[in-house]
């Protein structure tokens, strides 16, 4: 199914008509990355960032992203161009200079047990606003796949654009143990733990909206719990606290597999870090 031009910003465009001023339109993402890439190619773009978002000071932390107009649930927030990014493991990052390591860890996010996706250079950060999205325990956006983010609900003008860092991160520096959260929502968890992905309440809240590697970890974790329950009838978890995932495939999207293969090939290049930061 093709991405749909949002009516909120275009009263005369329909899903079947090419928009007249396409970069000014919102896009309703229907989960088909192939059609989305074709649409962006048609309008001369390799990535997308919602036009009704600005960067300014955030009460959560530093700078953040804020809606300048109403953004409807399901509208595409961002779609990343893979060529702007590298995927590196800890060993590769540790070969960087201390300054470059600090820069990398500040702007990357986790996409595997030992894999982080981050900007290829400082120039990428300077021209892209996506790097300033803060955490919230009640986020306004979530991931559709590893490089596509949409509005989780209607986002009001002036509201901050956020996502839950637990949907990407399963590793926190042992010296830190946790990350303090200052989102301020009524049910703020207070701290972000590397094991938050194991929480049944978060699994139920976010469904399939995790990094693909975390979807796989969650599925494996649930299978292990099921085996334990079957083997130990009087186990404390026999009450069935772990609600099943929605009926959907946990496999990594086919389109992303191609990107990951490309990134993996790049990561094995001895000169990779020369291009970074």
pTM above the 0.75 mark? no
What contacts 274, CB < 8 A, 6 or more positions away? none
Confidence (pLDDT) at 261: 52
Distance CA 180, CA 178 (A): 6
Confidence (pLDDT) at 272: 41
**Percent of the chain, pLDDT > 70?**
70
Counting beta carbons within 10 angstroms of the beta carbon of residue 227, is it exposed (0 to 12), middle (13 to 18) or buried (19 or more)?
A: exposed
Architecture of the CATH domain 46-268: Beta Complex (2.170)
Distance CA 62, CA 163 (A): 15
User: Is the pLDDT confidence value at 264 over 80?
Assistant: no
Residue from 229, 257, 261 nearest 242 by CA: 229
Per-residue pLDDT band for 55 (boundaries 50, 70, 90) equals very high
Bridge pairing between strands 109-112 and 53-57: unpaired
**Straight-line distance from the first to the last Cα atom of the chain, in angstroms, rounded to the nearest whole number:** 37
Confidence (pLDDT) at 239: 55
User: Is the pLDDT confidence value at 52 over 70?
Assistant: yes
Counting beta carbons within 10 angstroms of the beta carbon of residue 145, is it exposed (0 to 12), middle (13 to 18) or buried (19 or more)?
A: buried
Q: What are the residues facing 28 on neighbouring strands?
A: 4, 75
Distance CA 115, CA 21 (A): 38
Lowest-confidence region among 144-153, 204-213, 242-251: 242-251
Counting beta carbons within 10 angstroms of the beta carbon of residue 26, is it exposed (0 to 12), middle (13 to 18) or buried (19 or more)?
A: buried
């Amino acid at each position: 199914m093709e991405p749909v031009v949002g009516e909120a910003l275009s009263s005369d465009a329909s899903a079947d008509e090419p928009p007249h001023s396409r970069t000014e339109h919102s896009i309703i993402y229907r989960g088909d990355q192939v059609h989305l890439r074709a649409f962006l190619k048609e309008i001369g773009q390799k990535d997308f960032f919602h036009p009704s978002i600005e960067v300014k000071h955030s009460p959560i932390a530093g700078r953040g992203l804020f809606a300048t107009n109403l953004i409807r649930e399901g509208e595409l927030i961002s779609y990343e161009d893979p060529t702007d990014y590298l995927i590196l493991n800890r060993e590769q990052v540790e070969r960087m200079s201390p300054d470059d390591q600090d820069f990398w860890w500040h702007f990357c996010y986790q996409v595997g047990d030992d894999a982080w996706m981050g900007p290829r250079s400082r120039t990428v950060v300077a021209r892209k606003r996506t790097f300033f999205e803060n955490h919230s325990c009640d986020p306004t956006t979530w991931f559709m796949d590893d490089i596509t983010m949409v509005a989780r609900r209607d986002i009001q003008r002036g509201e901050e654009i956020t996502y839950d860092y637990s949907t990407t991160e399963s590793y926190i520096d042992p010296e830190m143990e946790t990350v303090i959260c200052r989102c301020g929502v009524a049910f703020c968890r207070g701290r972000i733990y590397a094991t938050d992905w194991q929480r049944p309440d978060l699994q139920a809240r976010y469904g399939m909206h995790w990094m693909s590697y975390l979807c796989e970890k969650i599925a494996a974790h649930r299978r292990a719990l099921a085996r334990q329950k079957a083997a130990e009838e009087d186990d404390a978890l026999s009450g069935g606290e772990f609600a099943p995932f929605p009926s959907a495939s946990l496999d990594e999207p086919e389109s992303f597999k191609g990107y990951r293969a490309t990134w993996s090939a790049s990561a094995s290049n001895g000169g990779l870090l020369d291009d970074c930061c």
